[in-house]
Amino acid sequence: MTVVGLTTYLEPARWGAWDIPAALVPHWYVDLLQEAGAHVVLLPPDHDPTALNRLDGLVLAGGADVDARRYGDDPDATADVPRRERDGSELALYLRARDLRMPVLGICRGLQIMAVAHGGRLHQNLPDVPDTAVHRERPGEFVDHRATFIPGTRGAGILGTTEITVNSSHHQSVADPGTLIVCAWAEDGTIEACEDPEAEFCLGVQWHPEHPDRRIADRPLLTAFVSAARAFAESS
């Protein structure tokens, strides 16, 4: 049994008689991992990352903007209200996963958390970056565009190609990946994926493989992640 942890949002939620904060995640993420053969444990924000000791892999889900103060900047006027508990929890989980040499997959915000953990920083509002294409018309909608992987990187090897079409829905992006390496760029120069080439599997993508329309195109990515998690479990 391969068991991976999936980070969750901490957001106001409403169902039945309740209207209270809840730890939740779009079910697309759960479907994505289950279809790839993993059992999924949801990880609510928690600053003690030792729950990872019983898991085989970590997925950092998308969501609200990372607080700019985490990388030494003042928040832009366009930034989301900070989710400080989630930021702290995911940074701690990621660093613990790296200590364990556990496979990690970052999705959208997850890639940005990875970059910040490695000493990098973010573009806080892509429309303010000169010559940048539209990566989100409005929240909740996706924009398709081309991305190019660098030949010889792990990401290119996993996907079996250097040229792909991806789906974006973000207004922030990685400006500096810190000690990670960039393995894919959008046509306008936006960073689309980063990896640690010394890890068995440590890869973050700016697009959304959890979207149902991406399941076939991104199947190699999820298969590689779950296979790495399975190998990690067996080695442990």
Residue 145 appears among annotated catalytic residues: no
The single residue of 118, 170, 171, 208 carrying the catalytic annotation is 208
Active site residue 208: yes
Give the tens place of pLDDT for each residue, 95-132: 999 999 999 999 999 999 999 999 999 999 999 999 99
Mean pLDDT, range 216-228, rounded to an integer? 97
Annotated catalytic residue: which of 90, 192, 195, 210?
210
* pTM tops 0.95: yes
- 149-176 pLDDT tens trace: 999 999 999 999 999 999 999 999 999 9
Please classify residue 220 by burial: count the beta carbons closer than 10 Å to its beta carbon, then call 0-12 exposed, 13-18 middle and 19+ buried. middle
Share of the chain above pLDDT 90, in %: 95
Q: Which of 90, 108, 118, 194 is catalytic?
A: 108
Domains (ranges, CATH) in the chain? 3-235 (3.40.50.880)
Q: Is 123 a catalytic residue?
A: no
| Strand ranges (E), the chain | 3-7, 9-15, 18-24, 39-43, 57-60, 104-107, 121-123, 143-149, 163-168, 173-176, 181-186, 191-195, 202-205
Provide the 3-class DSSP secondary structure of residue 24: strand
Confidence of residue 139 (pLDDT cuts 50, 70, 90): confident
